[in-house]
Amino acid sequence: MFFQEPELQYEVTVEEPDPHFAKLLQQAIGGQEGEMRVALQYMFQAWAVPEQHEEYRNLLMETAAEELGHIEMLATAVTKNLRGATKSMSEEVRETADMAESMTAQGPRQFLSAGESAMPVDSNGAPFTGNYIVASGNLAGDLYANVMAEATGRTLATRLWNYTDDPGMKDMLSYLIARDTMHQNQWLEALETLDDPVPVPASFPQEQENQDVNYTFMSTRREEQPDPGHPWTEGEAPDGKGQFSYAAEQPGDGDVAAPDPDPMTNDDPNRTDQ
């Protein structure tokens, strides 16, 4: 179940409202790197965790609930940057916003469809999609996906921090960047508590995979190249279960010819007999 309190997780202030920055903030709400993605991702992952691993379910749900609070913060920031912007913006900021609007072909939906408020969309106005969410049912695989999600989310937040000069927005983003630092580390720490998490899924009997290529870096260059001697072409693999090797070419010899099509598909490029 969820509980709600009528206060933000962290203070959100805007000194110089900027409608163009509001549009950019939408990426942190409904974009591929955004908070809607991680909040729902962690929830659906948690709901798949079996009872005997309750500590991981709690970890995922606690973090998901925190991410919902981040959506609320960002939605508040979008609204504050939109409402009354033309009245309070300095001439310089207004000119910059007008130029940015024309360059990016900013649409009117934020005004027409949301009354100068946040929307569940990205910075281009594309609706949030569940296709961004990774919830495989395999805890180790999901935790690796969470590290990636927090890494790309933190990268986005740092770019937004660099873009804005508004002290309040920088302060809010500084908080979100710090929380992404924590979340990256907590997922990595959770992975450390798993016994033999790689290769994922670890439960598949590894003797059933092709033993000739399972630790081989395979060059796809047309001209044969010597072993570059990188850590991923020689030495022990990180999982401790194999030794890296290098192959200058791919196995090849696979037949690319497709079977004849069913006449019902009309795939044959030649005219059929009349």
pLDDT digits (tens, 9 = 90+) for 219-266: 898 899 998 999 999 999 999 999 999 998 888 888 888 888 888 887
Q: C-alpha distances in angstroms, 36 versus 2, 93, 141? A: 16, 29, 20
pLDDT in tens, 156-214: 999 999 999 999 999 999 999 999 999 999 999 999 999 888 888 888 889 898 899 89
pLDDT of residue 98: 60
Phi-psi region of 79 (alpha: psi -120 to 50; beta: other; left: phi over 0): alpha
Q: Which residue has the tokens 């009309």?
A: 266
The Cβ of residue 39 has, within 10 Å, a number of other Cβ atoms equal to: 20
Q: Which of 199, 25, 46, 218 is nearest to 119 (CA)?
A: 25
Residue spans of the domains in the chain: they are: 19-192, 205-253
Token pair for 194: 């798993």
Structure confidence by residue, pLDDT tens digits, 53-105: 999 999 999 999 999 999 999 999 999 999 866 555 556 665 665 655 544 43
Structure tokens at 213: 């290529």
Tokens of 5: 């309190």
pLDDT for 110 equals 75
Flag whether pLDDT at 23 surpasses 70. yes
Instruction: Tell me if the domain spanning 19-192 has CATH number 3.60.20.10.
Output: no
CB atoms within 10 A of CB 41: 23
